[in-house]
Amino acid sequence: MIESLIKFGKLNFAITELQLFYQDLSHVLGNSPSRSSKPSTSRMLEGFEYKPMVYSSYVITLVFMFHLQVLNLCLLKASTASSTKVVFPSGQEMMRFLSKGSSFNKWFGALPKDTVPRFAKLTSTCLFKLSMYTKTVLKLCYKLMSLQYLAYTSEVSDELIGVCTKIFRTMSSTNASVVYKYTSPTLLNVCESFKINDIPLTKLIRLIESYGSIAPIKEKSIWNAYKEELSDDNSDNIENLLEGLDIKSTKNMDSLIQLFESCQSWNLLGDVHFCASVAKTVKTLDLRDTRSQKFASAFLDFVNNASDENVDFGTKVFSVLDMFTIKIKSLDPIQHTEFCYSSLNSMFTILRTKSQPKRLRNFSNLAFHFGGLLLTSSVDQSLRFWMACVNFEYNVMLQAGDDEKHQCFQFLKTNVYLL
């Protein structure tokens, strides 16, 4: 009945019914409130104290349903212009009543396991909807809480994580300290719920890094610990995924891409077994496919980041880059312009300090070749590749011996003349 009243927007009737429900539950739980005293919405949202190992599964489920209906009542008030003399909880009260250690949270944690996904989904949906009716820092709090409960279902949304990240960056750009103060505890709860439900924290890497970047000095260690944990976990997860990777499996490829994007275990590049696994994967890629291109870009970025950290990786990495070069050479630059351009530049950046003039020359020749093919469709793109060719060739010339410099100079002069 209460659910129907809320569904059809009957705010005052729903409040009355929930007050009666509260009084009935009080008797069930051993409390004896006066029938004449009506609990406030704040008191109802604060709920009942949870006492471990006292209540039956039925009672636990019933009490949590009450808490959830009060939360839905708050959503109804936020989403409608219904008039009522009843005072509703403030934003800070809402956060306190829903925080870790609150009655709401404790009753949820005591739910029978088979009911958890359903109630988690209902709670997540309600919190997400609440976020739509505020423009304050509460918007981010509600969305993060929605993500926290969503972790107990099988429906964790990368899109919601992306939205949270975007909102955080927008809000923190104007008042970082306030955003951090009021939302960082909630993100830590999200991390905990991910770990409880065996969801990779790699999905949260951008949020963790963003919060770590604005955290007070005394709290930096919290976020650094998560980043170190991610780095250690990623190296194992990457190797495990590569070991039996089926590139036709969208889920596995997406997981591998995410792991490469967040991994900082640069020592993997010196591991012969790891490089052999990557080479085996690259050999089966079809770079005309978007997901394969994302994998290639993620791996090249990983190697590039290792180069920035002055990691001395083995020659096996060069062999993997050779495989990418061969596959990119067979692509049509008109259809895959951006991927071809970014990949050549990434590989050039990786190798320009590694004394590999022959490989740099391959990139130069390929950029020149692609520029010619693009001339019929886009002069601007053609020039873009030819300018890259000149840049590559200039670096080849700097690394060449005296006998080769004249040849490099003539090639460079020819390219500049064509431009």
Q: What angle do CA 362, 368, 369 make, to 5 degrees?
A: 85
Task: Please report the pLDDT score of residue 416 as a whole number.
Answer: 47
In this structure, are 236 and 217 located in the same domain?
no
Tokens for 351, please give them.
């190798």
Instruction: Compute the chain's Rg from CA coordinates.
Output: 29
In this structure, are 291 and 355 located in the same domain?
no
Tokens for 59, please give them.
């009672």
Give me the mean pLDDT over the 308-319 stretch.
76
Task: Please report the pLDDT score of residue 346 as a whole number.
Answer: 93
Task: Please report the pLDDT score of residue 417 as a whole number.
Answer: 45
- Residue-by-residue DSSP string for 109-123: HTS-GGGHHHHHHHH
* pLDDT tens for each residue of 176-201: 999 999 999 999 999 999 989 988 78
In this structure, are 243 and 127 located in the same domain?
no
How many C-beta neighbours within 10 Å does residue 254 have?
Answer: 14
Task: Please report the pLDDT score of residue 11 as a whole number.
Answer: 62
Work out whether the CA dihedral 272, 278, 284, 285 comes out positive or negative.
negative
In this structure, are 142 and 52 located in the same domain?
yes
> Is pLDDT at 36 greater than 70 in this prediction?
no
> Is pLDDT at 27 greater than 80 in this prediction?
no
In this structure, are 312 and 337 located in the same domain?
no
In this structure, are 104 and 196 located in the same domain?
yes
> Is pLDDT at 158 greater than 50 in this prediction?
yes
In this structure, are 261 and 347 located in the same domain?
no
Task: Please report the pLDDT score of residue 329 as a whole number.
Answer: 94
Q: Give 248's pLDDT tier (boundaries 50, 70, 90).
A: low
Task: Please report the pLDDT score of residue 206 as a whole number.
Answer: 80
Instruction: Give the count of domains, the chain.
Output: 3
- Statement: the pTM of the whole predicted model exceeds 0.75: no
Query: Last residue of some domain: 328, 343, 361?
Result: 328
Q: Give 269's pLDDT tier (boundaries 50, 70, 90).
A: confident
Task: Please report the pLDDT score of residue 339 as a whole number.
Answer: 95
Work out whether the CA dihedral 36, 42, 44, 50 comes out positive or negative.
negative
pLDDT above 70 coverage of the chain, percent: 80
Query: Last residue of some domain: 309, 328, 347?
Result: 328
In this structure, are 240 and 128 located in the same domain?
no
In this structure, are 285 and 392 located in the same domain?
no
Give me the mean pLDDT over the 120-142 stretch.
92
In this structure, are 297 and 345 located in the same domain?
no
Write the burial class of residue 283 (CB in 10 Å: 0-12 exposed, 13-18 middle, 19+ buried): exposed
Between residues 407 and 96, which one has the greater pLDDT?
A: 96
Task: Please report the pLDDT score of residue 316 as a whole number.
Answer: 81
Q: Which region among 18-32, 95-109, 191-205, 357-371 has the lowest average model confidence (pLDDT)?
A: 18-32
CA distances from 291 to 6, 23, 255, 286 (A): 44, 57, 11, 9
> Is pLDDT at 107 greater than 80 in this prediction?
yes
In this structure, are 372 and 290 located in the same domain?
no
> In angstroms, rounded to a whole number, what is the distance separating the alpha carbons of residues 205 and 197?
17
Domain that holds residue 24: 2-229
- Nearest CA to 337 out of 389, 304, 286, 385 is that of 385
Between residues 232 and 369, which one has the greater pLDDT?
A: 369
* pLDDT tens for each residue of 203-223: 787 888 889 889 998 898 888
> In angstroms, rounded to a whole number, what is the distance separating the alpha carbons of residues 140 and 150?
15
CA distances from 146 to 99, 125, 140 (A): 12, 7, 10
> Is pLDDT at 150 greater than 80 in this prediction?
yes
In this structure, are 202 and 308 located in the same domain?
no
Work out whether the CA dihedral 408, 409, 415, 418 comes out positive or negative.
negative
* pLDDT tens for each residue of 367-379: 999 999 998 899 9
Give me the mean pLDDT over the 169-180 stretch.
91
* pLDDT tens for each residue of 326-345: 999 999 999 999 999 999 99
Strand ranges, E, within 237-391: none
- Nearest CA to 288 out of 242, 237, 328, 345 is that of 328
Query: Last residue of some domain: 328, 353, 386?
Result: 328
